[in-house]
Structure 1
Amino acid sequence: MTPARIDVHQHIVPPVWAETLAARGLDSGGWAIPEWSSRGALAMMDRHAIATGVLSVTAPGVHLGDDASARALARAVNEYGAEVVKDRPDRFGHFASVPLPDVDGAVAEAVHALDTLGADGVVLMSNARGRYLGDPAFTPLWEELDRRAANVFVHPAQPPMDLLPGTPAPLADYVFDTTRTALDMVLKGVMTRYRRVRVILSHGGGFLPYAAYRFSGLTSTVVDRERPAEDVLRDLKRFHFDTALSASPSALPALLAFAEPGHVLYGSDWPFAPEEAGGYYDHFLETYPDFTPGQAAAIDRAGAEALFPRLAR
C-alpha cells in the first residue's frame, strides 16, 4: 500500500525526556515508556500507509514539578524533535511541548518553537498539573497561539484523581480527561475568543461527540440560560478529532455524525499504542461501509493538508 496518510497522533520519545522520567520514577499514567527511533517509526509508517507522522511528546508532558526544569526539558525535547524533522521533512512533522502551568515559560517556548524551530504546532496536555485548558490564567498562551493561527494538539493526561485500581490512565481516564478539558474550553470561552487557533482532540474527542447534545442542552437550560444550545454546539464543532484508538464500529459513526466535514484526521498513537493495536483500528477504518464520497480520503490526508499546508503534495 503506497504511503499516503498524515498521522497527526504519533509520538516521539526523546532520550532526555525518557531519562528524566526514569530518574523520577515516572511513566505515562501507568503505561510504560517505549523505545523510539526514527528508523523504527519509518518502518511502521510504511507498513501502515502513513506518509508523514506529526510527532509529539505524550503525558505527563514536560512539567514534572518545577518551572525551571520544565523550561529546560521543553527546550531540549523541542530541539530534538526539530532535528528529526530537519532530517526527513517529508516524513515527519512536530508539535512542540510547552511547560504549562508555567504560563510565561509556555508562551516563550511556543514562540521559540513556532518561529525559530519551525514547529507545526504545539501539544498541550489536557490538564496542566490539575488545571484545565479553559483556565483564565492561560489566556496569554491562547492569545499568542491565536496571533499565529497555530495548530494545537490536545493530548490527554492523567486526571487529578486516583487511578481506577488495576487500570492505567490511557485505558479509561484519558478519554474522560480529553472530554473534560474540551468542555472546559468551550464553557470558558476559549473556542469563541480564539477563532484562528485550530484544536485537535485526541482519540476521537473522548466521548465528546457522543455527549455533545447533552452538553449543549443542559448548558442552555441549567448551567447558563443566557447561552443558546446552538452556540455551545457551534463551539464544540470547531474542534478537530483524530481517529487514534477510536475508529471502531461504535465510535466512528458517532464521530462522523458530529464532526464538521474535514475535521476527522487519521491518528495511530504509535508507539504507546503498539503496532498491533494500530492495525486493529486501521481494519475498522479501512472496512467502514458508510463513508460518504471523499470522507475516507479526508480522514487519511486531505483534512490534515488543510491544517499543515507544507505537508500537502
Structure 2
Amino acid sequence: MSHESMCRYSDAENDDRLDGGPASRQRLGAVDVHVHYLPPRYRRLVLDAGIRKPDGYHLGVPEWSADAHLAHMERLGIETSVVSISTPGVQFTDDLADGVVAARTANEEGAELVAAHPGRFGFYAALPVPDVDAALVELERAADDLGAWGVSLMTNVNGVYIGDPSLEPLYAELSRRELPLLIHPTQPSATVPGVMEGWSKSMYEYFFDSTRAIIDLIFSGMLERHPGVRLVVPHAGAALPALAQRIERNVWRANREGDGPLPSFIDTLRRCYFDLAGSVLPHQLPSLLSLVDDDRILYGSDYPFTSDPMGAELAADLRSTTLLDSEQKTRILRTNAGGLFRQLGAEAAS
C-alpha cells in the first residue's frame, strides 16, 4: 500500500468520505475483518461432501471469485479484506482426515489470494479442530509458511465448543503467537424440534450460538490462562451486550465466589474486539457501545453471505450514522484494525 494511497484516506474530517456516497475508495478506505471467501478447490470439497445449503442458508453455497470480491471492495470503499472460511467450516464430514485436507486447501488458496493481490487481502487460517494435534500442525504451517494474519474457528464443531478443555494447547499457542482469533457462528450442536425448521440458522441461531460459545469460553478460564489470545467476537457481540450485566451480577460472581481474585466478566469482554458484520443499526450498535469502547470495534461486511447490494446498504448506514462522529468512524472503519493485525500496523493508523 503506497504512502500516496494512505495519505489520500487520512483526512477523516471530511464527512463526505464517510457518507456512503459513490466515490468508493476516495472515501476513507475501510479494513474489512469479517468477510469470507470460497476459493475453487475448497468450494469443490464442500459440494463433493453433499452440502448444498449450509446451515439452511437459502442461497446455497455462494459463488465467489477474487475479481467479484475486488469489485465489492471498490463499491463499498474497502481497502483491505481479511478473509476467512465461513460455514460449513472445514470439518464437514465425520472423517477428521477430511478436515485436515479442507483446512490445508483453504489456507493454501488464502495465501495464493494474498500473493496475487498484495495490500488488498489478508486471511485467517482455518484449523481442523477438534483434532488438536492436526490443528497445531496446520497453525504452524499457516502462520510460518503461508503468512496467515490470524485464525478463525467455528463456535462449535460437531458439538465441541471453543471453550472445550481439549483445545487448551491450541489457545496456549495462539497466546504465544499473539494471533487474532475470529470466532464465527455455525448452527448449534442441538436445536429444538419443530421450532423454525427449514429457515436459515443464520437468522437467529447464529447469535445464540455465538453468545453461548463466548460465555462458555470465558467461564472455562481459557482467556485468563492465555492472555495473549486476541479474540474477535462476531456480529456486534450477538446477545452479549444485553446479557453481560446479568451474567456479571447474578451468575459469574456467585459461582466464582471463594476461588480467589475474580476477574470481571465484563472486563474480560472489554478486552475482546467486536466486529460489526450484519445489520447493527439502529438497535444493536448502541447496545455494544454501552459495553465496550469504540477502539475495540471493527468493520465487517460479511460478503458474500451478505449480498453485495445489502452490504452496500449496511456500509452506507455505518458511514452516515449520527450515532458516531467522524473520528469514531475512522477508528471503526480503519484504525482499530491496525492495532489488531501487525501486517497493517502503522499504515492503517496513518
Query: Given that residues 5 and 51 in structure 1 are in contact (C-alpha distance below 8 angstroms), is that contact kept between their aligned partners in structure 2?
Result: yes
Gaps of 5+ in 2: 1-22
Question: Mean alpha-carbon deviation: is it higher for 73-82 or for 162-171?
Answer: 162-171
Q: Report the Cα distance in structure 2 between the residues aligned to 1:130 and 1:17, rounded to whole angstroms.
A: 23
Q: Report the Cα distance in structure 1 between the residues aligned to 2:188 and 2:252, rounded to whole angstroms.
A: 26
> Which amino acid is 1:102 matched to?
D
Q: How does 1:227-246 map to 2 (within 5 A)?
A: 231-246=264-279
Q: Report the Cα distance in structure 1 between the residues aligned to 2:320 and 2:41, rounded to whole angstroms.
A: 40
Query: Given that residues 60 and 157 in structure 1 are in contact (C-alpha distance below 8 angstroms), is that contact kept between their aligned partners in structure 2?
Result: yes
Aligned equivalent of 1:304: 337
Query: 1:310 is paired with a residue of what secondary structure?
Result: coil
**Residue of 135, 144, 148 corresponding to 2:164:** 135
1:63 to partner: Cα distance: 1.0
Q: TM-score, normalised by structure 1?
A: 0.95
Aligned equivalent of 1:51: 79
Aligned equivalent of 2:62: 34
Aligned equivalent of 2:10: none
Aligned equivalent of 2:221: 189
- Provide Cα deviations, 1:45-102, integer angstroms capped at 9, x if missing partner: 0000000100111012111221111111111110011000011121001001000111
The 3 A distance-change label for structure 1 pair 210 and 229 is farther
Q: Report the Cα distance in structure 2 between the residues aligned to 1:284 and 1:268, rounded to whole angstroms.
A: 12
> Which amino acid is 2:324 matched to?
F
> Which amino acid is 2:267 matched to?
R
Pairwise CA RMSD: 1.7
Q: TM-score, normalised by structure 2?
A: 0.85
- Identical amino acids, percent of aligned pairs: 37
Query: 1:294 is paired with a residue of what secondary structure?
Result: helix
Query: 1:165 is paired with a residue of what secondary structure?
Result: coil
Aligned equivalent of 1:8: 33
Gaps of 5+ in 1: none
1:230 to partner: Cα distance: 5.9
Aligned length: 313
Query: Given that residues 256 and 262 in structure 2 are in contact (C-alpha distance below 8 angstroms), is that contact kept between their aligned partners in structure 1?
Result: no
The 3 A distance-change label for structure 1 pair 80 and 204 is same
**Residue of 7, 10, 20 corresponding to 2:45:** 20
Query: 2:186 is paired with a residue of what secondary structure?
Result: coil
Query: Given that residues 12 and 57 in structure 1 are in contact (C-alpha distance below 8 angstroms), is that contact kept between their aligned partners in structure 2?
Result: yes
The structure having more radius of gyration, on CA atoms, is: 2
Q: Report the Cα distance in structure 2 between the residues aligned to 1:87 and 1:258, rounded to whole angstroms.
A: 39
Query: 2:182 is paired with a residue of what secondary structure?
Result: strand
- Provide Cα deviations, 1:192-224, integer angstroms capped at 9, x if missing partner: 111111111111121111211111112235433
Aligned equivalent of 1:209: 241
Aligned equivalent of 2:90: 62
Q: Report the Cα distance in structure 1 between the residues aligned to 2:322 and 2:263, rounded to whole angstroms.
A: 30
- Provide Cα deviations, 1:8-34, integer angstroms capped at 9, x if missing partner: 011010222222221222232111111
Q: Does 1:280 align with 2:313?
A: yes
Detail structure 1 runs of 4+ shifted over 4 Å in the superposition.
Answer: 227-230
